[in-house]
Amino acid sequence: MRIAIDAHGGDHAPDAVMEGIGLAREKWPDLKIVLIGTREIAEKFVLSDVEFHAVTEIIEPDDKPAIAVRRKKDSSMVVGCKMVRKGEADAFISGGNTGSLMAAGFFHVGRMKGVDRPALAPVFPTLTGKGILVLDVGANPEAKPGHLHQYATMGSIYAEKVLGFESPRVGLLNIGTEAGKGTDLTKEAFSMLEEDHSLRFVGNIEARDILEGPCEVLVCDGFSGNILLKNTEGVAKAIFSRFKQELTASLFTKLAAAILKPRLKKFAQELDYKEHGGAPLLGLRGPVIKAHGSSDAKAFFNAIRQARRFLEKEVISQIEEELSR
């Protein structure tokens, strides 16, 4: 098993990437890692047993994705995706710009057989601690009912094989719980999901119930999913930062804060996306995993573990098989 990793992706790269690789090498000594980065990286970091592939370009966060992945042919993202396409790597992990990684995946890895549109599928934290796989959160803003049906199939297999949910329940993000609610898209998708008995479809799910964990896989168009993802992040961040403000307002509140600190820290961690590893781009010919932009060493380690399971459980051939039925 050979996993390619982008040395340049994420706010804490390359240090967090290196440390994450170090942790993974300790845990799985048989694992082969190919680190992709510029010469400066190779000069700065020497990791024994880690193969290095030098590139001359970097895709920057504010590059236009579609243009960047066409022009910057010797960037870490494009090279990583091409390695997967050519079989030189079994999977690719990057904490870089999401739009660019999706574009690089589409152009340079390509879709798997039977998939119309790949989907970005992060795990949302839930109060149950188990999390919920949401797809798509932005790879395909304008989805068709058939795409949502494919997301349900891909998501169910991934949730079972990689996340370990037995017989995962599938929900459809909608603006009411009754059948017949929502737009033409959700109405048609509802019928398709209901008719597919290979899925454990539990119906429409409203946005207010997600954190309670009403299902293990939630399907939606990429526009709504992206709104959901960013709104959840924004609301949680705003509430926590405001709490922090209240906790440090006076000597008394600082005392209270000292008592509560370990509990609040644990809770904040539970709501943290990094704990759940990266988000796979489901529907490509090979595993491509987007690590969160703020990933630390542990998050990169988790993304590597995720890529390993993805490969061990043969998720791609399972999805292809299911979609061909």
Identity of the residue, 141 or 164, whose beta carbon is nearer to a copy of itself in the bound complex:
141
Q: Cis omega before residue 29 (within 30°)?
A: no
Which of 95, 85, 77, 80 has the alpha carbon at shortest distance from 33? 80
| Closer residue to a copy of itself, CB minimum distance, 248 or 317 | 248
SS3 (DSSP) at 262: helix
Give, for 44, the enclosing helix (H) or strand (E): helix 39-44
Comparing CB distances to a copy of itself, the nearer of 83 and 137 is: 137
Of 56 and 231, the one with the shorter C-beta distance to a copy of itself is 231
Tokens of 176: 């009411």
Q: Is 272 exposed, middle or buried (0-12, 13-18, 19+ CB in 10 A)?
A: middle
Euclidean distance between CA atoms 310 and 91, whole angstroms: 9
| Neighbour count for residue 191 (Cβ, 10 Å) | 13
Q: How far is the CB of 225 from a copy of itself (least distance, A)?
A: 9
Closest distance of CB 274 from a copy of itself, Å: 16
- Residue holding tokens 């798997």? 112
Residue 262, token pair as written in the block: 């370990």
List Cβ neighbours of 57 (8 Å cut-off, separation of 6 or more).
72, 73, 74, 75, 76
Q: How far is the CB of 147 from a copy of itself (least distance, A)?
A: 13
Report the interface residues with a copy of itself, using CB under 8 A.
99, 127, 138, 141-142, 173, 175-176, 182-184, 186, 206-212, 222-224, 226-240, 242-243, 246-247, 249, 252-253, 255-257, 259-260, 263-264, 267, 271
Q: In the bound complex, what is the minimum distance in angstroms from residue 208's beta carbon to a copy of itself?
A: 3
Q: State in angstroms the smallest separation of the CB of 67 from a copy of itself.
A: 12
- Candidates 95, 100, 96, 98; CA nearest to 69 is 100
As measured in angstroms, the least distance from the Cβ of 227 to a copy of itself is 5
Q: Which is nearer to a copy of itself, 86 or 237 (CB)?
A: 237
CB of 101 to a copy of itself, least distance (A): 15
Asked if 202 and 214 count as a contact pair (C-beta separation under 8 A), the reply is yes
Least Å from the CB of residue 11 to a copy of itself: 15
In the complex with a copy of itself, which residue's Cβ is closer, 139 or 284? Answer: 139
C-beta closer to a copy of itself: residue 45 or 223: 223
Q: Where are the alpha helices (DSSP H) in 90-201?
A: 98-104, 145-161, 184-195
Which residues, 6+ apart, have CB-to-CB distance to 105 below 8 Å? 81, 118, 281, 284, 288
Structure tokens at 131: 């999390």
Angle of helix 251-270 versus helix 222-247 axis, rounded to 10: 150
For tokens 């961690």, name the residue: 269
The nearer residue to a copy of itself, 170 or 319, going by C-beta atoms, is: 170
